[in-house]
């Protein structure tokens, strides 16, 4: 872990995008599943927006992966 500010946001964004693509889902589909706008989800995937832990958990549930997988390097 590097400890740089924003690292976890970028890791989450990268992993979220990878899992979404693996499911063949658009941003619109995942955003609808987790109750956020596509533009917000897009910013999360770019590492530009924070999300609450509850939202990370909801994203993981919808994608069918452990929440830790979304946060792992």
pLDDT tens by residue, 6-53: 899 999 999 999 999 999 999 999 999 999 999 999 999 999 999 999
Residues 6+ apart with CB under 8 A from 8: 71
pTM: 0.88
Length of the chain: 73
Is the Cβ–Cβ distance between 18 and 12 less than 8 Å?
no
Second-level CATH architecture of 7-67: Orthogonal Bundle (1.10)
Cα dihedral 4, 11, 55, 57, rounded to 10, equals -110
Domain locations along the chain? 7-67
**Token pair in block for residue 73:** 């390097």
Kindly indicate the confidence band of residue 1, based on its pLDDT and cuts at 50, 70 and 90.
very low
């Amino acid at each position: 872990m590097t400890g740089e500010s924003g690292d976890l946001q970028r890791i989450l964004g990268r992993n979220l995008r990878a899992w979404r693509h693996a499911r063949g889902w658009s941003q619109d589909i995942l955003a609808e599943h987790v109750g956020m706008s596509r533009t917000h989800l897009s910013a999360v995937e770019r590492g530009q927006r924070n999300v609450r832990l509850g939202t990370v958990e909801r994203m993981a549930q919808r994608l069918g992966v452990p929440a830790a997988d979304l946060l792992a390097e």
